Every structure is written in C-alpha cells, then in structure tokens.
Structure 1
Amino acid sequence: MGLKESLAKLSMINIKRGEVLFKEGVPSNGAMFFLFEGQLDIYKQIEGKHTKLRSILPGEFFGEMAIINNSPRAASIVVVSETAKLGIINRTTFVQMSQESPEFLFLLLKKVIERLYETDGKIRAIKRKQDEDSAIAKVTPNASQPDSDGNGEESSGQVPLETFTNDAQSIGE
C-alpha cells in the first residue's frame, strides 16, 4: 500500500478559524496530524510572547514528536483559515504507515530536518533582533517609535500570551 492509500484511511477532524489544535507545553496525546485542507500557524513562546514561526499548508505532516517520544507539545497550533481538515495519525497508524510505505518515513525525516534548520534560524533571528532593539533602547532613550497603529510596538508576528489561555479547549488531546 502506498502513502496516498494510507492517508485516505486516517480518522478526520474539521476545525474552525481561531481554534487551538494544541498548546505548547501541554502533554501530547501521542498523535500527529496531516493537513488536507486549510492553513494553520505555529506559535512558540519566546521571551514571554507567542511568536509565529511559520504556517502549515495542505500536504504537510506535523506533531511527529508526539509519536516518536510522547513529549509535551513543542509549539501551539492555531487555525487561521476559515476551516481546516486534518487526518489524525496515532502510534498504531504511524507504525503501519511506516511498514507499508517506506516513502512516508523518508518524507517525514526530510521534513523534520528541514524544519529543525528553519526553526533554529528563525529563533536566532528573533533573539538577535530583540538583542539589537534592547541595545538601541539602552543607548537611545525613547528609541521606540510608534508603528502604523500608534502603539509603539513593532509587528513581529508576536501574540500576547493571553491569546493562549489555559482554559482553551485543545482539540485532539
């Protein structure tokens, strides 16, 4: 059986814009996902703010660390499209897909390595910018200039922590 046939057998869920699939740091349920339709954004807490790292587009796997070592979720995932259609891959399904479709493991490993490099670079760039901004602020009083919405903060893809409240219902958990 090939990868397409394996994906066609997955349990499906549909979620709506603004819903949090899972939150960074919460225990995982041992499931990873495949996005069939829609768009999701990945947020990681960096120095007190949830910062957007990247988007997940149709055809991508994510949440693989939950399958491999059942670790807490490494980031928060939020639906940004009107709706999103996801396939759920539990550990049993993962093992079966791995045995039936070696291309699945190869694609997954390739993606994980690419994401590792991409995420590391993004986090380093964000921290470098924060360090630069901090250095400028120390040298120049009132260095913060209002941005287009006049609040004095730059739009950096950061979201206040309140957006990810502890009482938010996580999906698939």
Structure 2
Amino acid sequence: MGLKESLAKLSMINIKRGEVLFKEGVPSNGAMFFLFEGQLDIYKQIDGKHTKLRSILPGEFFGEMAIINNSPRAASIVVVSESAKLGIINRTTFVQMSQESPEFLFLLLKKVIERLYETDGKIRAIKRKQDEDSMISKSLPSLSNDGASASNEESLGQVPLNTFTDDAQSIGE
C-alpha cells in the first residue's frame, strides 16, 4: 500500500479559524497530524512573545516529535484559514504507515531536517533583530517611547503572551 492509501485511512478532524490545535509546552497525546485542507500557523515563545515561525500548508506533516519521543509540544499551532481538515496519526498508525510505505519515513525525515534549518535561521534572525533594536533604544533613549516597539513586534510576527491563555481549549490533546 502506498502513502496516498495510508493517508486516506486516517481519522479526520475539522477545526475552525482561531482554534488552537495544541500549545507549546503542553504534554502531547502521542499524535502527529497531516494537513489536508486549510492553513495553520506555528508560534514559538521567544523572549516573552509568541512569535510566528512559519505556516503549515496542505500536504504537510507536523507534530512528529510526539510520535518519536512523546515530548511536550515544541510550539503552538493555530488555525488561520476559515477551517482546517487534519488527519490524525497515532503511534500505531505511524508504525503501520512506515512499514507499508518506506517513502513516508524518507519524506518525513527530509521535511524535519529542512524545518530544523529553517526554524534555527528564523530564531537567529529574530534574536539578531531584537539585539539590534535593544542597542538602538539604548543609544537613542528618546525614541524608546514612540511606539516603535509595537511595530517591531508586528513586523517580527510576534503576538502578546495572553493570546494563548492557559484556559484556551486545545484540540487533539
């Protein structure tokens, strides 16, 4: 059986715009996902702000660390399209897909490596920008109260911490 056939057998969930699939640091339920429809954004807490790292588009797997080592979620995932259709891959399904479709493991490993490089570069750029902004505000104290901070946060894709409150319902957890 090929990868397409394996994906067609997945349990599906539909979630709406603004819903949090899972939050960074929350224990995982051992499931990863495949996005069939919609768009999701990935946020990571960096220096007290939830910073958008990238978007997840249809055809992508994500949440694989939950399958591999059952670690807490490394980032928060939020639906940004009207709705999103996701396939749930638990450990049993993961093993079965791996055995039935070796291409699945190759594609997954390739994607994970690409994401590691991409995320590392993005985090380094954000920190570099924050360091530059900090140095500028220290050398020009009269500019620190003119609202530049808020516009810098927006340009970095940052949102306040209260966007992901502790009482927000997580889907799939």
Shift of 1:141: 1.1
Residue by residue over 1:102-139, the C-alpha shift from the partner in whole angstroms, topping out at 9 and shown as x without a partner, is 00000000000000000000000000000010011111
Cα RMSD, aligned residues only? 1.1
Counting only pairs closer than 5 Å after superposition, residues 44-59 of structure 1 correspond to structure 2 as 44-59=44-59
**1:153 paired to 2:144:** no
TM-score, normalised via structure 2 length: 0.96
Aligned to 1:169: 169
Code of the residue aligned with 2:117 in structure 1: it is Y
| Structure 2 unmatched runs, 5+ | none
Considering fraction of residues, name the structure with more helix: 2
Matched residues, number = 170
| Structure 1 unmatched runs, 5+ | none
SS in 2 for 1:77: strand
Counting only pairs closer than 5 Å after superposition, residues 8-157 of structure 1 correspond to structure 2 as 8-144=8-144, 145-146=146-147, 152-154=150-152, 155=154, 156-157=156-157
Within 2, Cα distance between the matches of 1:9 and 1:39? 21
Within 2, Cα distance between the matches of 1:9 and 1:134? 51
Distance 1:40 1:152, change over 3 A: closer
Q: Percent identity?
A: 89
Instruction: List structure 1 segments (4+ residues) > 3 angstroms apart after TM superposition.
Output: 144-147
Distance 1:45 1:2, change over 3 A: same
SS in 1 for 2:141: coil
Shift of 1:152: 4.7
Residue by residue over 1:115-173, the C-alpha shift from the partner in whole angstroms, topping out at 9 and shown as x without a partner, is 000000000000000001001111111234446xxx85322210111010001111001
